[in-house]
Each structure stands twice: as C-alpha cells, then as structure tokens.
Amino acid sequence: MTEASTPEAGVPLSARDIQALIPHRWPFLLVDRIVEYEPSRRWIVGRKGVTSGEWFFGGHFPGLPVMPGVLQVEALAQTMAVYVARQEGFGDRIGLFAGIEECRFKRIVVPGDTLRLEVTMEKLGRRFGKGRAVASVRGEVACEALLSFVIPPEGALR
C-alpha cells in the first residue's frame, strides 16, 4: 500500500476538502479532486473534469470550446497550493504566483476531457516555493510549466 492510499494521507480529497485547504471557490476552483498525494516524493495529483457547462466556454471560443491555457496553469497552481497547505506550518497562509517558466501548451483541452494535474515540488521554503507541473489528458501532455509562488509577510494582504 502506498502512502497516497493510506488513511493518514487523507486521499482522495473532494472539492469540499480542497476548499477547506485553499481559498478558491466556484467558479474559479479548478480542481475537482486530489487523487494521489505522496509527501515523501513531494508529489501530488489532482483531477479536473472539463464539462460543456464551464463558464469560460461561452467566449473561448463560440462554436469551438477550448479551455484557456492560462486556466490550465491556474488549475496546476491550485493543485500545488493544496500540496503546500498540507505541509506543517503552512495551513492558512496564502501563496501568490511569483513566476511561470518554461510553459508550453501541447494539446487543446475540450469538453469531456479530464485533466490530470501533477505537481512535483522542487523547492519549498517558508516564503517561497517552486514546482514542476504537468497537465495531461489520457496520458498526452496538454500543458507543462515550472511554477513558483511567494508567501507574503503576515498582514501584507490587508
């Protein structure tokens, strides 16, 4: 049994569980479930079922619905945020994007697709972190990037 499947790891996580960890809410919560989580590997996997009713398809693009690449990146960042929130000492601290590097879009994402959102943390400090992120559909890479975040000092966001 892997760590991800043990009760202590608390996987899978539902959208409700995710909302207890990060501040994102509908319509901007872009992770439906966390399905794998292995802190020893610094690794997490989420899922996003892309439906024809998504709010962004009305304008992107009429008659040819394609999930915007920037929202694929956001879904990966939210998955990374769940990983960080589960680490000791991070809990309710909010991370903000610090950078998106090496970003590539390799496949369109359309209604009916399920995005697999995989993040491997490369660095995690008290105020900064970086993770290698890959969004894929049926094993085919849709988007990949190196994402970084910063956690502002207490009270800086008020």
Render pLDDT for 75-92 as a digit per residue (tens, 0 to 9): 999 999 999 999 988 867
pLDDT value at position 1?
Answer: 31
* Structural domains of the chain sorted by starting position, each given as residue range(s) with its CATH number in brackets: 3-150 (3.10.129.10)
The pLDDT tens digits for 18-41 are 999 999 999 999 999 999 999 999
Q: Two tokens at 122?
A: 């490369």
Q: Residues near 84 by Cβ (< 8 Å), separated by ≥ 6?
A: 90, 95, 121, 124, 129, 149
7 has a pLDDT exceeding 60: no
> CA 78 to CA 34: how far, in whole Å?
11
Question: What's the DSSP call for residue 2?
Answer: -
> CA 17 to CA 22: how far, in whole Å?
9
Residues 83, 121 contacting (CB under 8 angstroms): yes
pLDDT value at position 10?
Answer: 72
Q: Is 135 helix (H, G, I), strand (E, B) or coil?
A: strand
The backbone torsions φ and ψ at residue 12, rounded to the nearest 5 degrees and listed phi first, read: -80, 160
pTM of the model: 0.91
As a whole number, mean pLDDT of residues 40-47 equals 98
Q: Let me know the angle formed at the C-alpha of 116 by 62 and 69, rounded to the nearest 5 degrees.
A: 40
pLDDT value at position 108?
Answer: 98
Average pLDDT score over the chain: 91
H helix and E strand count, the chain: 2, 6
The pLDDT tens digits for 100-111 are 999 999 999 999
pLDDT value at position 89?
Answer: 83
pLDDT value at position 6?
Answer: 36
Q: Two tokens at 9?
A: 């790891």
| Alpha-carbon distances of 57 from 52, 61, 76, rounded to whole Å | 7, 6, 19
As a whole number, mean pLDDT of residues 56-79 equals 97
Structure confidence at residue 158 as a pLDDT band (50, 70, 90): low
Catalytic positions:
60
